[in-house]
């Protein structure tokens, strides 16, 4: 979307455990930088930024008079009670949220934005001449769910996270995610995620190579938003595939 609008996205490499590398962030900023875009809980890694990390990002934004755009669509999927909204910490924050994840409204997109009035007013001008309003069917679907307690569902997702992590931790290098519903294992350097994903697809298992999210191709994304039996079957395919590919790439 940045490229579509003739803006230049600058990718900032994180640390291996997906924590923010503050020096990399500082070096990525130039006089042309307008905003820092973050996503927590994160897709694809499942990482949740700590309050300390957010405070460091805010400090850099303040020093350079930058906006922070924070995608917080997975805020309810927070298994270690770490989630903090950057909107609580910074006046020039633009917070993006929505309902399709927490209410499992697959394919029905209804979101919201929180930010300074000057930004929201200008966004409304643009919105009024593009899509006018969200479809009524989506609004009804969300309205029906507003008072539903989803804590049991969140607990269920946490258990699934633990299951897939325990099944794969001895076969892949993995940082245990603390949010969202994704896990992001790392492959040996001699095996690309693209080739690994193709091999898995031959066994009726869909995963997404890391090249879809970054400039690297040595990670892959798993969604554990499925049944426990499917997780176990998927893990069997992953382990079988990685062992076969290692045997061919000693």
The tens digit of pLDDT for each residue in 136-151 reads: 999 998 998 888 899 9
Whether the predicted pLDDT of 207 surpasses 80:
yes
151-248, what's its fold? Answer: 3.90.1150
Q: Measuring CA to CA, how many Å separate 62 from each of 34, 83, 119, 236?
A: 12, 21, 18, 48
Q: Say what percent of the chain tops pLDDT 90.
A: 82
Predicted pLDDT at 31: 96
Q: Are 39 and 213 in contact (CB under 8 A)?
A: no
Predicted pLDDT at 106: 82
Predicted pLDDT at 49: 96
Spatial distance between the Cα atoms of 103 and 141, rounded to a whole number of angstroms: 9
* Local confidence band at 248 (pLDDT 50, 70, 90 cut-offs): confident
Q: Say what percent of the chain tops pLDDT 70.
A: 100
Phi-psi region of 48 (alpha: psi -120 to 50; beta: other; left: phi over 0): beta
- pTM across the whole model: 0.92
Predicted pLDDT at 250: 64
Whether the predicted pLDDT of 249 surpasses 90:
no
Spatial distance between the Cα atoms of 143 and 136, rounded to a whole number of angstroms: 10
CA-CA-CA-CA dihedral for 120, 126, 132, 133, to nearest 10: -30
* CATH number at 3-143: 3.40.640.10
> What is the CB neighbour count within 10 angstroms for residue 121?
9
- Overall average pLDDT of the 219-231 stretch: 96
Q: Are 198 and 178 in contact (CB under 8 A)?
A: no
Whether the predicted pLDDT of 48 surpasses 70:
yes
Whether the predicted pLDDT of 206 surpasses 80:
yes
Residue 219 carries which DSSP code?
A: B
Question: Which sequence spans correspond to the domains of the chain?
Answer: 3-143, 151-248
Predicted pLDDT at 119: 94
What tokens were used for 32?
């042309």
Residues 6+ apart with CB under 8 A from 226: 160, 234
């Amino acid at each position: 979307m940045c490229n579509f609008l003739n803006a230049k996205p600058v990718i900032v490499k994180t640390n291996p455990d997906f924590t923010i590398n503050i020096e990399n962030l500082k070096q990525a900023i130039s006089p042309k930088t307008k905003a820092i875009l973050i996503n927590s809980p994160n897709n694809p890694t499942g990482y949740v930024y700590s309050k300390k990390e957010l405070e460091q990002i805010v400090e850099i934004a303040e020093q350079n008079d930058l906006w922070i755009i924070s995608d917080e669509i997975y805020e309810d999927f927070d298994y270690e009670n770490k989630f903090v909204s950057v909107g609580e910490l910074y006046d020039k924050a633009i917070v993006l949220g929505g309902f399709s994840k927490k209410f499992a409204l697959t394919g029905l997109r209804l979101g919201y934005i929180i930010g300074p009035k000057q930004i929201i007013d200008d966004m409304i001008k643009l919105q009024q001449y593009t899509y006018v309003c969200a479809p009524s069917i989506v609004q009804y679907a969300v309205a029906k769910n507003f008072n539903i307690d989803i804590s049991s569902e969140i607990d269920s997702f946490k258990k699934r996270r633990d299951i897939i992590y325990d099944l794969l931790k001895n076969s892949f290098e993995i940082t245990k995610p603390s949010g969202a519903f994704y896990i992001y294992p790392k492959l040996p350097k001699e095996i690309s995620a693209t080739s690994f994903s193709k091999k898995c697809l031959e066994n009726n298992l869909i995963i997404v190579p890391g090249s879809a999210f970054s400039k690297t191709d040595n990670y892959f994304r798993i969604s554990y938003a499925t049944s426990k039996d499917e997780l176990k079957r998927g893990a069997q395919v992953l382990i079988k595939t990685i062992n076969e590919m290692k045997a061919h790439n000693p």
